[in-house]
Amino acid sequence: MFVIVVGCGKIGYQLSRALLAADHEVVILERDSHRAARAAEELGSVIISSDGTEPTVLTEAGASRCQLLIATTGQDATNLVACQVAKRSFRVPQTIAVVTDPDHVALFKQLGVDVTISTTELILSHIEEEMPGGPLVHLLPIQGAASGIVCVRVPAGSPAIGRSLAVMGLPVGTSLAAVVAKNGEIKSIGPDLLLEQDDEVVAITPPDKETLLWRALTGGA
């Protein structure tokens, strides 16, 4: 795949190195000439020392035949404009933006950025996963939808134990995909389903309903 990486800070540099190691064609655009020169010593002639939000620079970099643009600078504004120019002026099929301000996630999606990676949310989700007693584990984001697949284990003392799905009431917009009992038995999903301690609940939920879902299944605050 031919990938353009905008920004050669820590994320851009490590990402490019990994992409090159996986035999992808990579061009990195880095505005700061010193930073570009330093990275070029390690990565070779894949770096252009120019502003990746400039249409003329993207033309030179070959954006018109690029399959994926990843904007990794520390500035959300730069990452947004790089993705918008790539999408609108060069018809790049897939764009990914690193987002520092979590408030920008929804806006960027609305503005046509295909995937946003919020560094803050990423760290938070890992902190949640470290929580004892029924953590919420992110299994998979669903492409093209604002939802993701998550997994929660029902802990001892959860208010959900012994209650049927109909009574319990899940947050609007969430739905259960599968429930696996401790012994490995897969329970059938229906209004009569009774949850027990140590059930693994796999659910589909939008990110803003995660906390509600987690509370409903674990009783946590």
Both tokens of residue 14?
């490590």
- Among 82, 16, 83, 88, smallest CA distance to 53 is for 82
Smallest separation, CB 197 to another protein (Å)? 41
Both tokens of residue 132?
């004892």
Give the residue with the Cβ less far from another protein, 102 or 159.
Answer: 102
User: What H or E segment, with its residue span, contains residue 16?
Assistant: helix 10-21
Smallest separation, CB 51 to another protein (Å)? 9
Interaction site with another protein (CB under 8 A): 2, 25, 27, 44-46, 53-56, 59-62, 64-65, 75-78, 80-81, 84-85, 88-89, 101, 103-104, 106-107, 110-111
Spatial neighbors of 131 by CB under 8 A, at least 6 apart, are 220
Smallest separation, CB 55 to another protein (Å)? 4
Give the residue with the Cβ less far from another protein, 62 or 157.
Answer: 62
- Among 160, 179, 172, smallest CA distance to 212 is for 172
Smallest separation, CB 130 to another protein (Å)? 27
Give the residue with the Cβ less far from another protein, 100 or 164.
Answer: 100
Give the residue with the Cβ less far from another protein, 53 or 72.
Answer: 53
Smallest separation, CB 112 to another protein (Å)? 9
What is the rounded distance in angstroms from the CA atom of residue 199 to the CA atom of residue 207? 22
For the chain, report the end-to-end CA distance as a whole number of angstroms. Answer: 45
Give the residue with the Cβ less far from another protein, 111 or 151.
Answer: 111
Place of tokens 């992808």: 24
State the DSSP code for 38.
H
What is the rounded distance in angstroms from the CA atom of residue 163 to the CA atom of residue 110? 39
Give the residue with the Cβ less far from another protein, 72 or 205.
Answer: 72
CA gyration radius for the chain?
A: 22
Smallest separation, CB 111 to another protein (Å)? 6
